[in-house]
C-alpha cells in the first residue's frame, strides 16, 4: 500500500473520530453513534470515493445506504426515548462526505470542514444562550443588513451622478452599511454584557453605537442617582476612547494608506484614553446601569437612509468647498460636522484621500471633527451632569486630545 493512501486513511479516521468524540461527550453516551462509528463512517466515505473511480455511481449508492442506516438507527432511538434530533445524523452524513474529500486530495478542505463541524456542535450551549438575548426585531435587523449588502448595494450605480456630479449612490450606501454594522455590533455587545458587567463595559459597547448617547445618558444618571463620580466619568471616558478607535477602524476599511498615518495620533489618544479609563476603574465602585437611547436596535432602514443622506450631504459639501475654498473650506465643514457626528466626515475624507485629496488635509479634517465632537461631549457633561463630573471628564479629554495633537505634530515632522 502506498504511503499516500495510508495517510489518507489515517486522516479520514482521525477526523471522523474527532467529530464522533464530540457527539459522545455532548450527548453523554445517549446517541447510538459514538466516536468509533463516526470514524468508520468517514472511512466508508473514503472507500466509496476510491471505488467510485472503478465502479461509476457506487458513491451515490453507498451514500444512500449510509443515509438509510442513519434513518433506521434514529427511528429506533426515537421510539425508545420519545425524542428525536437531527443534529447527530446530519453530522454523521457530513462526516461521510469529509471522508470522500480526503480521498480526492482535498485534505485541507476536509480538515477545515471537520473542525468547523466540531466547533459548531460544541457551540450549542452558547448559541442557545445567544438566542435568549435575540429579540424578533434583532433577527429582522440582521436580515435587513443582508438585504442592504447583497440586494440593494449591487443595484446601485458606482459613479458620480447629479447636476454637479458630487453624489455616488454605491459608495454612499456602502458607508451606510459599514456604520450600521459597527453600531449593531455595539448594540449586541450592550445586550450581552452591558448590565451584567458594569458601567465600563456599558460605555465601551455604547461607544461603538454612539459615544454622545453614552455621555448624555450617564450624565443624566449621575445627576439623578449620584454615586461614584469615577464610575460615571470612566464610562464616558471609555465610550469616547472607543470613538477614537472607531474613527481609526473606519478609515482603515476605506483607505488603509491613510489609516497608517492616522494610527499615530489616534492610537496614541486611544492608549492614553484606555490608561486613564483604567485608572478611573481602579477608583470606582462597581456600578451597573442601563443607558437610555442605546436600547433601540440601530440597524433600521430609516437609520441607514438617514446616515446615507448625511454622508451624501457632507461628501458633496466637502467636494464643493474643496474646489472653491481649498483646505480651509474642508476644515470648516469638518468642524460643523463634528458638532453632531464624526462618522460621515471620517468616511468622506478617507474616500476623497483615495481620489486625490491631500492626505494631510484629510487627516487634519478628521482630527478637527474628532476634537470638536469631544468638546461637545465635554460641554454636555458639564451642562447635564454638573461641574464635578465635568471636571473628571475634562481631564480625560485634556489628556487624550493633547496626545492626539502631539501625534499630529509629530506626523507633520515636528
**Which residues, given as ranges, of the chain have pLDDT below 70?**
1, 29-32, 73-85, 129-130, 133, 160, 162-167, 175, 178-179, 182-183, 185-199, 225-226, 284-304, 307, 311, 315, 319, 322-323, 414
The whole-angstrom separation of Cα 404 and Cα 180 is 26
- pLDDT value at residue 345: 86
Instruction: State residue 307's pLDDT score.
Output: 66
The pLDDT score that the predictor gives to residue 405 is 92
- Phi and psi at 356, nearest 5°, equal 120, -15
Cα torsion angle, 349, 354, 355, 361, sign? positive
Residue 196's pLDDT is 45
272 and 298 Cβ atoms separated by less than 8 Å: no
Q: What pLDDT is attached to residue 356?
A: 80
DSSP string, 291-320: -TTSSS-S--HHHHHHHHHHHHHHHHHHHH
Q: Which residues is 161 bridged to in the sheet?
A: 167
Where are the chain's structural domains?
Answer: 3-122, 133-412
123 phi, psi to nearest 5 deg: -85, 0
Cα–chain-centroid distance for residue 135? 19
Q: What percent of the chain has pLDDT over 70?
A: 79
**320/333 Cα distance (integer angstroms):** 10
Report the alpha-carbon distance of residue 358 to residue 342 in Å, rounded.
Answer: 19
Q: How far apart are CA 368 and CA 100, in angstroms?
A: 59
The pLDDT value recorded for residue 382 is 92
Nearest to 319 by CA among 341, 353, 352, 361: 352
pLDDT digits (tens, 9 = 90+) for 254-273: 899 999 999 999 999 999 99
E-only strand ranges, 209-311: none
Amino acid at each position: 500500500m502506498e504511503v499516500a493512501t495510508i495517510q489518507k486513511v489515517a486522516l479520514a479516521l482521525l477526523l471522523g473520530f474527532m467529530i464522533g468524540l464530540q457527539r459522545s461527550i455532548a450527548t453523554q453516551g445517549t446517541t447510538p453513534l459514538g466516536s468509533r462509528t463516526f470514524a468508520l463512517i468517514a472511512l466508508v466515505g473514503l472507500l466509496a470515493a476510491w471505488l467510485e473511480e472503478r465502479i461509476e455511481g457506487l458513491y451515490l449508492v453507498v451514500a444512500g445506504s449510509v443515509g438509510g442506516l442513519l434513518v433506521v438507527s434514529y427511528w429506533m432511538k426515537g421510539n425508545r426515548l420519545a425524542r428525536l434530533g437531527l443534529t447527530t445524523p446530519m453530522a454523521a452524513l457530513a462526516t461521510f462526505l469529509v471522508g470522500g474529500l480526503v480521498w480526492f486530495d482535498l485534505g485541507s478542505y476536509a480538515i477545515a470542514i471537520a473542525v468547523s463541524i466540531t466547533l459548531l456542535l460544541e457551540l450549542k450551549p452558547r448559541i442557545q444562550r445567544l438566542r435568549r438575548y435575540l429579540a424578533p426585531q434583532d433577527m429582522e435587523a440582521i436580515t435587513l443588513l443582508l438585504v442592504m449588502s447583497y440586494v440593494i448595494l449591487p443595484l446601485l450605480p458606482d459613479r458620480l451622478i447629479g447636476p454637479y456630479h458630487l453624489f455616488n449612490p454605491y459608495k454612499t450606501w456602502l458607508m451606510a452599511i459599514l456604520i450600521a454594522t459597527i453600531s449593531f455590533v455595539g448594540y449586541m455587545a450592550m445586550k450581552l454584557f452591558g448590565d451584567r458587567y458594569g458601567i465600563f463595559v456599558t460605555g465601551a459597547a455604547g461607544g461603538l453605537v454612539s459615544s454622545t448617547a453614552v455621555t448624555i445618558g450617564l450624565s443624566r444618571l449621575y445627576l439623578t442617582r449620584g454615586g461614584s463620580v469615577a464610575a460615571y466619568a470612566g464610562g464616558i471616558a471609555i465610550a469616547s476612547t472607543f470613538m477614537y478607535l472607531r474613527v481609526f477602524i473606519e478609515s482603515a476599511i476605506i483607505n488603509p494608506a491613510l489609516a497608517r498615518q492616522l494610527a499615530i495620533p489616534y492610537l496614541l489618544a486611544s492608549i492614553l484614553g484606555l490608561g486613564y479609563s483604567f485608572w478611573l476603574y481602579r477608583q470606582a465602585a462597581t456600578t451597573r446601569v442601563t443607558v437610555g437611547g442605546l436600547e433601540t436596535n440601530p440597524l433600521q432602514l430609516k437609520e441607514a437612509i438617514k446616515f446615507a443622506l448625511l454622508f451624501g450631504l457632507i461628501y458633496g459639501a466637502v467636494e464643493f468647498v474643496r474646489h472653491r475654498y481649498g483646505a480651509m473650506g474642508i476644515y470648516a465643514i469638518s468642524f460643523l460636522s463634528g458638532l453632531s457626528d464624526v462618522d460621515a466626515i471620517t468616511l468622506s475624507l478617507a474616500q476623497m484621500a483615495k481620489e486625490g485629496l491631500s492626505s494631510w488635509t484629510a487627516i487634519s479634517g478628521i482630527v478637527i471633527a474628532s476634537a470638536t465632537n469631544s468638546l461637545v461631549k465635554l460641554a454636555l457633561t458639564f451642562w447635564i451632569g454638573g461641574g464635578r463630573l465635568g471636571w473628571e471628564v475634562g481631564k480625560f479629554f485634556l489628556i487624550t486630545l493633547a496626545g492626539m495633537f502631539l501625534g499630529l505634530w509629530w506626523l507633520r515632522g515636528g
